[in-house]
């Protein structure tokens, strides 16, 4: 199997067909067709099913695609690593981010990163752990910053760097009737808006919050993305759980924490995850350094001059 054959396979899938793959790779359609035929001969089984509207992968094709993506990305990263180490400003960096960071630290992180790397192409994928971790595993993401319950990431599958720990709170719209008497049973009788089901693997401790309060979990739960949750909360009597630092930002206008709520969500940790056996490029290392610096300043505010000096270091210090 040859690298150009893997590149052809990835391009055919990502661009939806042989013609589009040929345009993306700047080669002829005949070259893509030949590459795929040779790859199928080497694999000893069909990889593609040709259809009127593009192509589909066989089961064997799906398995090979996962490895082809890792191989082609690692070759590209090796080239970028050498060029960036030599002083060039280029390449591609793919980052998975929890919505919490998009609303808080991403803007400053991007600003300081751009002071050093102006030509690196950045791709940000927003999502919770269930969405970004598979992409980190298959190599289509270089780093992922996720919000997890404390202790949720275990084992040695990923290298984890703690960015900050944040308390969470129960939130409703301003003026919500429950603010006058935040009884636990009254809260669980309301509709809840969460980013994952209560008993899902991604939120194993939400269920415990209700158990500790001596009440049953709510029976009405809407599962949606973060922005949708904010919109629903502003226009209904629904309840949700947010990290405390998120409140007060423009995106959370009209939402308030329930003071002395009888339900106490667990803290979350923001973790920066990478594959332990895959070295980061200088640009990826620098982005991680900028993000960790911004999150550190957010977690432990200092006086104005010291805080600004710490944040400015993200743009001027060498890659870690």
Q: pLDDT tens across 163-194, in order?
A: 998 899 999 999 999 999 888 999 999 999 99
Confidence class of residue 70 from pLDDT cuts 50, 70 and 90? confident
Name 282's Cβ contacts closer than 8 Å, sequence gap at least 6: 81, 84, 85, 319
pLDDT of residue 31: 93
Residues forming a β-bridge with 241: 170
pLDDT of residue 303: 38
Residue-range domain boundaries for the chain: 3-81, 89-164+269-316, 168-266
Third-level CATH fold of 89-164+269-316: D-Maltodextrin-Binding Protein; domain 2 (3.40.190)
Confidence check: pLDDT of 151 > 70: no
pLDDT of residue 181: 87
Q: Are 277 and 216 spatial neighbours (Cβ–Cβ below 8 Å)? A: no
Counting every residue written for the chain, the total comes to: 320
Third-level CATH fold of 168-266: D-Maltodextrin-Binding Protein; domain 2 (3.40.190)
pLDDT of residue 288: 95
Residue, of 194 and 318, whose pLDDT is higher = 194
pLDDT tens track for 97-136: 998 999 899 999 999 999 999 999 999 998 878 788 888 8
Q: Are 58 and 49 spatial neighbours (Cβ–Cβ below 8 Å)? A: yes
**In whole numbers, what is the pLDDT of the chain averaged over residues?**
85
Name 221's Cβ contacts closer than 8 Å, sequence gap at least 6: 191, 192, 193, 194, 197, 198
- CATH topology of 3-81 equal to that of 89-164+269-316? no
Q: What is the CATH code for 3-81?
A: 1.10.10.10
């Amino acid at each position: 199997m040859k690298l150009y054959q893997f590149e052809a396979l990835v391009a055919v899938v990502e661009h939806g067909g042989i013609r589009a793959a040929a345009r993306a790779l700047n080669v002829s359609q005949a070259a893509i067709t030949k590459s795929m035929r040779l790859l199928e001969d080497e694999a000893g089984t069909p990889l593609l099913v040709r259809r009127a509207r593009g192509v589909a992968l066989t089961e064997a094709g799906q398995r090979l695609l996962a490895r082809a993506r890792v191989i082609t990305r690692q070759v590209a990263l090796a080239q970028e690593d050498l060029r960036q180490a030599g002083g060039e400003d280029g390449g591609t960096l793919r980052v998975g981010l929890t919505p919490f960071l998009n609303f808080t630290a991403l803007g400053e992180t991007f600003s300081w990163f751009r002071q050093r790397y102006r030509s690196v192409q950045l791709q940000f994928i927003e999502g919770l752990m269930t969405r970004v971790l598979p992409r980190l595993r298959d190599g289509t993401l270089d780093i992922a910053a996720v919000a997890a319950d404390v202790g949720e990431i275990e084992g040695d599958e990923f290298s984890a760097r703690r960015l900050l720990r944040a308390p969470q709170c129960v939130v409703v719209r301003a003026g919500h009737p429950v603010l006058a008497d935040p009884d636990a049973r009254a809260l669980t009788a309301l509709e809840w808006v969460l980013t994952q089901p209560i008993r899902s693997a991604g939120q194993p401790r939400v269920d415990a919050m209700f158990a500790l309060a001596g009440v049953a979990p709510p029976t009405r739960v809407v599962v949606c993305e973060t922005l949708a949750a904010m919109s629903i909360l502003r226009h209904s009597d629904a309840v949700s759980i947010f990290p405390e630092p998120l409140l007060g930002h423009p995106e959370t206008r009209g939402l308030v924490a329930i003071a002395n709520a009888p339900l106490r969500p667990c803290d979350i940790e923001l973790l920066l995850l990478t594959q332990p056996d895959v070295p980061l490029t200088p640009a990826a290392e620098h982005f991680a350094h900028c993000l960790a610096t911004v999150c550190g300043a957010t977690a432990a505010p200092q006086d104005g001059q010291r805080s600004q000096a710490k944040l400015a270091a993200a743009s001027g210090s060498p890659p870690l």
